[in-house]
Structure 1
């Protein structure tokens, strides 16, 4: 925040005319990069030397230095807003969590003879992470890359097993098909999806929802799985708290 540090330190040195010009510059921060010193002077019924003098009083070498610092500061603010969007996803995801449901899922993880994950695309990453962490605890856990192998293993499930399906849309065909098979076979099922009424969630015994910001590039899904990672991490930490010492 180099720009605002200089303003705080030196702004008291400006006279009323310079203060008016400064306020005009701050109000045009979004387009400051395209403005010239003559345009600023004309807008404020003054001369370029006045603009230069106020920039120097504030601690900048001149108008170009001032303009660059204000431009960079404006873009720093935009980056903060982007990060805040992820924070909001987590806050809203937390609001959707029912602790009673979490407790029941943790019990199912502990009691399951076998746990399988159904996920494809980018949703495989939170699935893989939870899978690997469960394996460290000696839990019989499996993930699949090939959709045919996924469906085949779904057919092998019993009422003693747990199937966990991850899908942002809740409509992913391969995951939906495998979850349907698991449900028919009597396995306990859990869905972790984006917040929506969706067919995968409708199939499962337990549901967890994450807030997702949809994104795609040329029709390819690029939405972050931040909230899905949050939910799988929550399940693992809750499991550790409940059962690891035992």
Structure 2
């Protein structure tokens, strides 16, 4: 079985430290399947006991099964032609990590969650998008994209608008919340109000893959991977993975809709 198929149902259970171990594992799969548990645990700066606990938590019976499945996944992936194989390996580390983050985001995307959301989208709900800071620019593109598809999209741009917008949310609508950290207090407060007053509107969070408050309040959580970067205390973390997720959801919805005809 594929490594990512096994871990997908268990990612939400991980702590922040365990997510960091997972991030290391995904980025170093080519080396890990030939290493023993002591070597991998040392690379992750944890004990062998902690690493074995992580292995079992993500869905494996032990380290042997863990490395066997990784080896199978790596070999299977290498047997398929990929566009990334043609990239110049002398690129900067950032370019390499940038591509890896997008690849990880797509790999761990849960098809069952996407199918459930596609089912909800068949009813042509209003789509609300809540985002702040740098995430707003990704949200603006998503607003444009989903509007072109025929959805009524409401994207409140400032704090006052965000506080007022939830008043018109109905039980058939879908609310998307974009927040990489998953711990923004304003958005958490708004989500709590929505959950208490909006009679079962579906709440979808798009956050980093750590255990965070916004994902725990959501009906569906979609994970993104990205290296956190700031410049002079300004967050410039890439939000391309958020756009990738929302594009893939829309493309899957189009296929899903065709199958219903």
TM-score (norm 1): 0.64
Q: What's the counterpart of residue 174 of structure 1?
A: 186
1:165 aligns with 2:172: no
Q: Which residue of 2 aligns with 1:237?
A: 251
1:61 equivalent in structure 2:
none
Query: Corresponding residue for 1:191?
Result: 205
Tell me which structure has the larger Cα radius of gyration: 1
TM-score by length of structure 2 reads 0.61
Q: CA deviation at 1:112?
A: 4.7
> In structure 2, the residue corresponding to 1:170 is in which secondary structure?
coil
Aligned partner of 1:102 in structure 2 is 114
Native 8 Å contact 1:163 1:179 kept in 2:
no
1:118-144 residue CA offsets vs partner (Å, 9 max, x unmatched): 001111122222221221122111111
Is residue 2:149 matched to residue 1:137? Answer: yes
Higher relative contact order (CA 8 A, sep 6+): 2
For the residue of structure 2 that corresponds to 1:85, the secondary structure is helix
Q: In structure 2, what is the equivalent of residue 211 of structure 1?
A: 225
Q: How many residues align?
A: 171
Structure 2: where are the runs of 5+ without partners? 1-87
> Which residue, out of 153, 158, 163, partners 1:146?
158
Contact 1:154 1:179 in 2 (8 A): no
| Partner of residue 70, structure 1 | none
Runs of 4 or more above 6 Å deviation: none
Contact residue 98 and residue 226 of structure 2 kept, 8 A: no
RMSD, matched Cα:
1.9
